[in-house]
Amino acid sequence: MGALLVIFLAGCGTKMTPLKSYTLQTPKVEKRHQGSYHSKTIKVMQPLSLKEKMSDKMYFSYSPIQQGAYLNSKWSNNLGKLLQGTVMYTLQSSGMFKGVVSYDSTAQADCRLESTVFDFSHHVRGDASAAVVSLQFNLVSTHTGKLMKSKRFSYREPTKTTDARGYVEASNRAVERLGNDLLLWLNCI
Protein backbone atom coordinates (compact mmCIF):
# COMPACT_ATOMS: atom_id res chain seq x y z
CA MET A 1 0.00 0.00 0.00
CA GLY A 2 2.86 2.40 0.86
CA ALA A 3 4.63 1.74 -2.46
CA LEU A 4 1.39 2.43 -4.34
CA LEU A 5 1.00 5.75 -2.53
CA VAL A 6 4.60 6.75 -3.40
CA ILE A 7 4.03 5.94 -7.10
CA PHE A 8 0.76 7.90 -7.09
CA LEU A 9 2.35 10.96 -5.46
CA ALA A 10 5.36 10.80 -7.82
CA GLY A 11 2.96 10.91 -10.77
CA CYS A 12 1.27 14.00 -9.35
CA GLY A 13 4.58 15.81 -9.17
CA THR A 14 5.23 15.52 -12.92
CA LYS A 15 4.64 18.81 -14.65
CA MET A 16 3.19 18.55 -18.16
CA THR A 17 3.57 21.34 -20.69
CA PRO A 18 0.09 22.39 -21.82
CA LEU A 19 -0.83 21.99 -25.48
CA LYS A 20 -1.14 25.41 -27.14
CA SER A 21 -3.54 25.93 -30.01
CA TYR A 22 -3.00 28.68 -32.62
CA THR A 23 -5.06 29.99 -35.51
CA LEU A 24 -4.67 32.14 -38.61
CA GLN A 25 -5.84 35.72 -38.21
CA THR A 26 -8.29 37.11 -40.71
CA PRO A 27 -6.40 39.70 -42.75
CA LYS A 28 -7.39 43.33 -43.17
CA VAL A 29 -9.09 43.70 -46.54
CA GLU A 30 -10.03 46.79 -48.52
CA LYS A 31 -13.29 46.79 -50.51
CA ARG A 32 -12.75 46.37 -54.26
CA HIS A 33 -16.08 46.96 -55.99
CA GLN A 34 -14.71 47.34 -59.49
CA GLY A 35 -13.71 44.43 -61.68
CA SER A 36 -15.18 41.84 -63.97
CA TYR A 37 -16.21 39.45 -61.17
CA HIS A 38 -18.66 41.77 -59.39
CA SER A 39 -21.68 39.93 -60.81
CA LYS A 40 -20.14 36.45 -60.42
CA THR A 41 -20.09 33.85 -57.67
CA ILE A 42 -17.03 31.84 -56.68
CA LYS A 43 -16.70 28.48 -54.94
CA VAL A 44 -13.58 28.15 -52.78
CA MET A 45 -12.21 24.62 -52.64
CA GLN A 46 -10.35 23.26 -49.63
CA PRO A 47 -6.60 23.29 -50.38
CA LEU A 48 -4.77 20.11 -51.27
CA SER A 49 -1.24 19.35 -50.17
CA LEU A 50 1.56 17.82 -52.22
CA LYS A 51 3.65 16.93 -49.17
CA GLU A 52 2.12 16.26 -45.78
CA LYS A 53 -1.43 15.25 -45.01
CA MET A 54 -3.41 18.36 -44.09
CA SER A 55 -4.04 18.27 -40.34
CA ASP A 56 -3.77 20.41 -37.24
CA LYS A 57 -0.06 19.58 -36.87
CA MET A 58 2.45 22.43 -37.06
CA TYR A 59 5.54 21.40 -39.03
CA PHE A 60 9.13 22.61 -38.73
CA SER A 61 12.34 21.65 -40.47
CA TYR A 62 16.05 22.00 -39.74
CA SER A 63 17.12 21.09 -43.27
CA PRO A 64 15.46 20.40 -46.64
CA ILE A 65 15.29 16.68 -45.82
CA GLN A 66 14.64 16.73 -42.06
CA GLN A 67 11.18 17.59 -40.74
CA GLY A 68 9.16 17.23 -37.57
CA ALA A 69 5.94 18.36 -35.90
CA TYR A 70 5.63 20.45 -32.75
CA LEU A 71 4.53 18.31 -29.79
CA ASN A 72 3.09 21.07 -27.58
CA SER A 73 1.62 23.33 -30.27
CA LYS A 74 -0.96 22.78 -32.98
CA TRP A 75 -3.31 24.63 -35.31
CA SER A 76 -6.83 25.19 -33.94
CA ASN A 77 -8.27 23.22 -36.86
CA ASN A 78 -7.13 21.35 -39.95
CA LEU A 79 -4.74 23.74 -41.76
CA GLY A 80 -6.65 23.25 -45.04
CA LYS A 81 -9.86 24.44 -43.39
CA LEU A 82 -8.09 27.40 -41.78
CA LEU A 83 -6.65 28.44 -45.15
CA GLN A 84 -9.98 27.95 -46.93
CA GLY A 85 -11.76 30.04 -44.30
CA THR A 86 -9.15 32.78 -44.55
CA VAL A 87 -9.42 32.89 -48.36
CA MET A 88 -13.23 32.95 -48.17
CA TYR A 89 -13.15 35.79 -45.63
CA THR A 90 -10.71 37.73 -47.81
CA LEU A 91 -12.87 37.34 -50.93
CA GLN A 92 -16.13 38.14 -49.12
CA SER A 93 -14.67 41.21 -47.41
CA SER A 94 -13.27 42.55 -50.67
CA GLY A 95 -16.71 42.80 -52.31
CA MET A 96 -15.07 41.61 -55.52
CA PHE A 97 -17.64 38.83 -56.04
CA LYS A 98 -21.42 38.77 -55.79
CA GLY A 99 -21.12 35.66 -53.64
CA VAL A 100 -18.46 33.42 -52.10
CA VAL A 101 -19.39 29.85 -51.16
CA SER A 102 -17.60 26.85 -49.70
CA TYR A 103 -16.68 23.80 -51.77
CA ASP A 104 -19.33 21.72 -50.01
CA SER A 105 -22.15 24.13 -50.87
CA THR A 106 -24.80 22.90 -53.32
CA ALA A 107 -25.06 26.43 -54.75
CA GLN A 108 -24.04 26.92 -58.36
CA ALA A 109 -21.03 29.17 -58.89
CA ASP A 110 -19.49 30.83 -61.95
CA CYS A 111 -15.89 30.17 -60.91
CA ARG A 112 -14.02 27.70 -58.74
CA LEU A 113 -10.85 28.66 -56.86
CA GLU A 114 -8.62 25.64 -56.34
CA SER A 115 -5.43 25.73 -54.30
CA THR A 116 -2.45 23.52 -53.66
CA VAL A 117 -0.16 23.90 -50.65
CA PHE A 118 3.49 23.42 -51.61
CA ASP A 119 4.82 24.47 -48.20
CA PHE A 120 3.38 25.82 -44.98
CA SER A 121 6.00 25.24 -42.33
CA HIS A 122 8.61 26.70 -40.01
CA HIS A 123 12.14 26.62 -41.44
CA VAL A 124 14.87 26.84 -38.79
CA ARG A 125 18.44 27.04 -40.06
CA GLY A 126 20.87 27.71 -37.21
CA ASP A 127 19.88 31.03 -35.63
CA ALA A 128 17.79 32.02 -38.67
CA SER A 129 14.11 31.18 -38.66
CA ALA A 130 11.24 31.85 -41.10
CA ALA A 131 7.66 30.92 -41.80
CA VAL A 132 7.44 29.61 -45.35
CA VAL A 133 4.07 29.83 -47.12
CA SER A 134 3.78 28.62 -50.70
CA LEU A 135 0.43 28.03 -52.42
CA GLN A 136 -0.72 27.81 -56.01
CA PHE A 137 -4.19 29.03 -56.99
CA ASN A 138 -6.14 27.99 -60.08
CA LEU A 139 -9.24 29.88 -61.16
CA VAL A 140 -11.51 27.56 -63.14
CA SER A 141 -14.71 28.33 -65.04
CA THR A 142 -17.45 26.05 -63.74
CA HIS A 143 -19.36 26.50 -67.02
CA THR A 144 -16.60 25.26 -69.33
CA GLY A 145 -14.22 23.53 -66.92
CA LYS A 146 -11.34 25.50 -68.46
CA LEU A 147 -8.52 27.02 -66.48
CA MET A 148 -8.92 30.81 -66.53
CA LYS A 149 -5.67 31.65 -64.74
CA SER A 150 -3.10 30.14 -62.42
CA LYS A 151 -0.42 31.54 -60.13
CA ARG A 152 1.89 30.37 -57.37
CA PHE A 153 2.48 32.65 -54.39
CA SER A 154 5.50 32.08 -52.13
CA TYR A 155 6.56 33.97 -49.01
CA ARG A 156 9.42 33.62 -46.55
CA GLU A 157 8.64 35.70 -43.47
CA PRO A 158 11.37 35.95 -40.79
CA THR A 159 10.34 35.05 -37.23
CA LYS A 160 11.19 37.02 -34.11
CA THR A 161 11.67 33.80 -32.14
CA THR A 162 12.43 30.22 -33.14
CA ASP A 163 9.45 28.72 -31.29
CA ALA A 164 5.89 27.93 -32.42
CA ARG A 165 4.57 31.35 -31.36
CA GLY A 166 7.16 33.15 -33.50
CA TYR A 167 6.27 30.84 -36.39
CA VAL A 168 2.54 31.60 -36.06
CA GLU A 169 3.10 35.37 -35.91
CA ALA A 170 5.25 35.23 -39.06
CA SER A 171 2.75 32.90 -40.77
CA ASN A 172 -0.03 35.40 -40.12
CA ARG A 173 2.02 38.18 -41.71
CA ALA A 174 2.67 35.95 -44.74
CA VAL A 175 -1.02 35.03 -45.03
CA GLU A 176 -1.99 38.71 -44.93
CA ARG A 177 0.42 39.39 -47.81
CA LEU A 178 -1.01 36.37 -49.62
CA GLY A 179 -4.56 37.69 -49.25
CA ASN A 180 -3.65 41.09 -50.68
CA ASP A 181 -1.67 39.57 -53.55
CA LEU A 182 -4.48 37.12 -54.31
CA LEU A 183 -6.98 39.98 -54.65
CA LEU A 184 -4.62 41.94 -56.90
CA TRP A 185 -4.08 38.86 -59.08
CA LEU A 186 -7.80 38.10 -59.33
CA ASN A 187 -8.55 41.73 -60.19
CA CYS A 188 -6.18 41.59 -63.19
CA ILE A 189 -7.76 39.88 -66.17
pLDDT (0 to 100) of residue 68: 92
CATH class of 43-187: alpha beta
Distances (CA, A) of 73 to 22, 60, 80: 7, 11, 17
Candidates 22, 1, 15; CA nearest to 166 is 22
Domain boundaries, the chain: 43-187
For 72-106, write each residue's pLDDT tens digit.
Answer: 999 999 999 999 999 999 999 999 999 999 999 99
For 110-163, write each residue's pLDDT tens digit.
Answer: 999 999 999 999 999 988 999 999 999 999 999 999 999 999 999 999 999 999
Quote the CA–CA distance of 113 and 37 in Å, as a whole number.
13
Prediction pTM value: 0.87
